[in-house]
């Protein structure tokens, strides 16, 4: 991720977003933390943290709770050293009976010009329950959404975006 440095172009911003997506899908806190400066500032929902140790701690707790995690990020906007993404991910909530949930949200990122590492990350996200009682199975006639990232579906499949835009816009 650090090899892609500001100033960003459309192509390099898209590459940076997909690289981040792929790193996060490893669910490896130490590996993911390598993309951030040692004093990186985060707002993750209602948590405010700073630095590598706190990033690793937050991600460790996140992926302990969020089992079967699958994430998609898409470029929303960019400038020379900033990128905004929209994202959605699905997971089974370990602390809520392994119910399937989906988080929708936006992130804004600011990058260090020298290293290409992220120095600020702000994330806002909202969760919804998937299926009746969290079983992940859609019931369209009742307006109940199911999982998009079922086994065999690539997170980069354009049909996932079509489901999002078709359902909400």
148 occurs within a structural domain: yes
Q: Is 50 exceeded by the pLDDT of residue 166? A: yes
Give the total residue count for the chain: 169
Residue 152: the pLDDT is: 80
Q: In CATH, what number is assigned to the domain containing residue 35? A: 3.10.450.50
Q: Compute the average pLDDT of residues 106-130.
A: 97
* pLDDT, tens digit, 9 for 90 and up, residues 6-22: 999 999 999 999 999 99
4 occurs within a structural domain: no
Residue-number span of the structural domain to which 74 is assigned: 10-168
Q: Is 50 exceeded by the pLDDT of residue 68? A: yes
* pLDDT, tens digit, 9 for 90 and up, residues 24-67: 999 999 999 999 999 999 999 999 999 999 999 999 999 999 99
Structural domain total, the chain: 1
* pLDDT, tens digit, 9 for 90 and up, residues 119-154: 999 999 999 999 999 999 999 999 999 998 888 888
What tokens were used for 30?
Answer: 């130490």
Give the whole-angstrom CA distance, residue 167 versus residue 145. 9
Residue 169: the pLDDT is: 45
Residue pointed to by tokens 């140790």: 53
Q: Where are the beta strands (DSSP E) in 79-158?
A: 82-93, 99-111, 118-129
87 occurs within a structural domain: yes
CA distances from 10 to 24, 78, 153 (A): 21, 8, 26
Which pTM was predicted?
0.91
């Amino acid at each position: 991720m650090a090899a892609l440095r500001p100033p960003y172009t459309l192509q390099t911003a898209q590459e940076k977003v997909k690289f981040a997506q792929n790193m996060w899908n490893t669910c490896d806190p130490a590996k993911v933390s390598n993309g951030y400066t040692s004093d990186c500032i985060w707002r993750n929902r209602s948590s405010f943290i700073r630095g590598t140790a706190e990033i690793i701690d937050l991600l460790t707790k996140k992926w302990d709770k969020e089992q079967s995690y699958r994430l998609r990020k898409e470029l929303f906007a960019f400038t020379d050293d900033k990128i905004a993404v929209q994202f959605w991910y699905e997971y089974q909530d370990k602390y809520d009976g392994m119910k399937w949930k989906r988080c929708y949200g936006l992130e804004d990122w600011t990058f260090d010009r020298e290293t290409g590492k992220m120095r600020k990350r702000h994330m806002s996200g909202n969760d919804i329950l998937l299926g009746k009682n969290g079983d992940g199975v859609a019931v369209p006639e009742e307006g109940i959404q199911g999982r998009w990232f079922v086994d065999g579906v690539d997170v980069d499949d354009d049909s996932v975006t079509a489901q999002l835009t078709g359902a909400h816009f």
